């Protein structure tokens, strides 16, 4: 069969895999004869162990447990073993009050408890509410399936108010997932840039950080993040662009790149395509799909 990527430029979509993974879920398409114009079936890929470290639940029209059933139904189609949940039911709150943090964390916990063999959770915290965030960490991180922290856009992460949260996370050996973005027309108030995370990571050289989205503008973000060895780049969001994973591996090394999707805001298939179609070895793909996060989380 013809590989679509033969004709792709560096920034074209990894559309072949995205189509393939979607097609694998549809019996009527899977039954179609394969020919020179068809994309490969899912069976054509090596079997990887895949953990998706950036997933969300969605709207409050159904319960967290029902969301988990839906999400894992989609995950099963594309071979994802575990999902990591954060921030509870929508709307996602830019600057949550303490009681809102607690409610979103209750949503996360309900989801994780509904599927403990398939789901892990992150505690949603805010540097603007340090005392309450530390209390949430002490309440939730003892659960074996709650493995880390999610920090979003309440406060830029170079702000020293985050330091007590980082120190407690290190005590629990919790993974620290910080949203970082680089908007061409300017970030939102409180939204961290890759440079902000570099500043934080340099202040805590013995603690490891996960840079969510690799900064969005990943070519620029990866060049910024590569400077500091205690940051791992996470590749959720953005279009499934050819070259993203290759650059991450080249600039940060194969041990500092993690697969994630940002489902349900993004499809699993489009995000998996970035890794499946990357020109890196299967051994490196396995590190990205699960090995690197499992090492960070001690799992
Ligand atoms: Zn997200």
Rounded to the nearest integer, the mean pLDDT of the chain is 89
Between the CA of 214 and the centroid of ligand 1 the distance, in Å, is 12
Between the CA of 72 and the centroid of ligand 1 the distance, in Å, is 17
Tokens of 5: 């990527």
Between the CA of 169 and the centroid of ligand 1 the distance, in Å, is 20
The alpha carbon of residue 152 and the mean position of all alpha carbons in its chain are separated, in whole angstroms, by 13
Model confidence at 31: pLDDT above 60? no
As a whole-number percent, the residues of the chain with pLDDT over 70 amount to: 85
Angle 190-195-200 (CA atoms, 0-180°, nearest 5)?
80
pLDDT at residue 11 in the model? 39
Model confidence at 246: pLDDT above 50? yes
Where in the chain does DSSP place strands (E)?
Answer: 50-55, 80-85, 119-125, 146-151, 175-181, 209-215, 231-234, 257-258
Q: Tell me the average pLDDT across 275-293.
A: 97
Instruction: Please list, residue by residue across 113-145, b when 16 or more beta carbons sit within 10 angstroms of its beta carbon and e when fewer do.
Output: ebbeebbbbbbbbbbbbbebbbebbeebbeeeb
Model confidence at 5: pLDDT above 60? no
Rounded CA-CA distance 225/169 in Å is 21
Do 82 and 289 meet the contact criterion of CB atoms below 8 Å apart?
A: no
Do 261 and 268 meet the contact criterion of CB atoms below 8 Å apart?
A: yes
Between the CA of 206 and the centroid of ligand 1 the distance, in Å, is 26
Q: Tell me the average pLDDT across 226-251.
A: 95
Do 197 and 209 meet the contact criterion of CB atoms below 8 Å apart?
A: yes
pLDDT at residue 32 in the model? 42
Kindly list the structural domains of the chain, giving each domain's residue range(s) and its CATH number in brackets, ordered by start.
Answer: 51-297 (3.20.20.140)
Q: DSSP label at 44?
A: G
Between the CA of 24 and the centroid of ligand 1 the distance, in Å, is 25
Between the CA of 176 and the centroid of ligand 1 the distance, in Å, is 14
pLDDT at residue 14 in the model? 43
Tokens of 103: 């409610």
Coil, helix or strand at residue 79? coil
Between the CA of 85 and the centroid of ligand 1 the distance, in Å, is 9
Rounded CA-CA distance 239/12 in Å is 9
Between the CA of 122 and the centroid of ligand 1 the distance, in Å, is 12
Tokens of 251: 């600039």
Q: How confident is the model at residue 38 (pLDDT cuts 50, 70, 90)?
A: low
Q: Tell me the average pLDDT across 139-148.
A: 98
pLDDT at residue 254 in the model? 98
pLDDT in tens, 95-126: 999 999 999 999 999 999 999 999 999 999 99
On whether the pTM is more than 0.75, the answer is yes
Do 132 and 173 meet the contact criterion of CB atoms below 8 Å apart?
A: no
Beta-bridged to residue 150, according to DSSP, are: 124, 177
Model confidence at 199: pLDDT above 80? yes
* 173 burial type by CB count under 10 A (0-12 exposed, 13-18 middle, 19+ buried): middle
Between the CA of 73 and the centroid of ligand 1 the distance, in Å, is 19
Model confidence at 46: pLDDT above 50? yes
Q: Tell me the average pLDDT across 245-259.
A: 98
Do 18 and 269 meet the contact criterion of CB atoms below 8 Å apart?
A: yes
The alpha carbon of residue 243 and the mean position of all alpha carbons in its chain are separated, in whole angstroms, by 18
Q: Tell me the average pLDDT across 185-189.
A: 94
Model confidence at 7: pLDDT above 60? no
Between the CA of 92 and the centroid of ligand 1 the distance, in Å, is 9
Model confidence at 268: pLDDT above 70? yes
As a whole-number percent, the residues of the chain with pLDDT over 90 amount to: 82
Q: Tell me the average pLDDT across 228-253.
A: 95
Q: How confident is the model at residue 39 (pLDDT cuts 50, 70, 90)?
A: low
Between the CA of 49 and the centroid of ligand 1 the distance, in Å, is 22
């Amino acid at each position: 069969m013809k590989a679509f990527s033969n004709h792709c430029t560096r920034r074209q979509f990894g559309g072949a895999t995205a189509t393939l993974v979607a097609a694998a879920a549809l019996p009527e398409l899977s039954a179609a004869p394969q020919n020179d114009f068809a994309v490969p079936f899912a069976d054509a890929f090596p079997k990887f162990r895949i953990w998706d470290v950036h997933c969300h639940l969605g709207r409050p029209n159904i319960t967290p447990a029902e969301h988990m059933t839906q999400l894992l139904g989609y995950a099963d189609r594309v071979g994802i073993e575990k999902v990591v949940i954060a921030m509870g039911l929508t709307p996602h709150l830019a600057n949550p009050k303490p009681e809102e943090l607690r409610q979103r964390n209750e949503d996360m916990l309900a989801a994780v408890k509904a599927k403990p063999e398939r789901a892990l959770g992150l505690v949603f915290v805010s540097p603007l509410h340090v005392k309450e965030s530390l209390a949430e960490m002490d309440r939730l991180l003892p659960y074996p399936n709650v493995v880390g922290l999610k920090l979003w856009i309440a406060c830029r992460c170079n702000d020293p108010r985050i330091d007590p949260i980082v120190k407690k996370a290190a005590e629990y050996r919790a993974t620290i997932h910080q949203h970082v973005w680089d908007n061409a027309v300017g970030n939102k108030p409180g939204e961290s840039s890759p440079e902000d995370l570099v500043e934080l990571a340099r202040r805590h050289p013995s603690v490891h950080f996960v840079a969510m989205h690799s900064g969005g503008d990943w070519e620029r973000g990866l060049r910024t993040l590569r400077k500091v060895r205690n940051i791992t780049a996470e590749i959720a969001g953005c279009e499934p662009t050819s070259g993203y994973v290759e650059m991450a591996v080249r600039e940060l090394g194969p041990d500092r790149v993690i697969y994630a999707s940002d489902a349900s805001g993004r499809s699993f298939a489009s995000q998996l395509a970035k890794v499946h179609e990357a020109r890196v070895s299967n051994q490196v793909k396995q590190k990205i799909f699960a090995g690197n996060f499992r090492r960070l989380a001690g799992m």
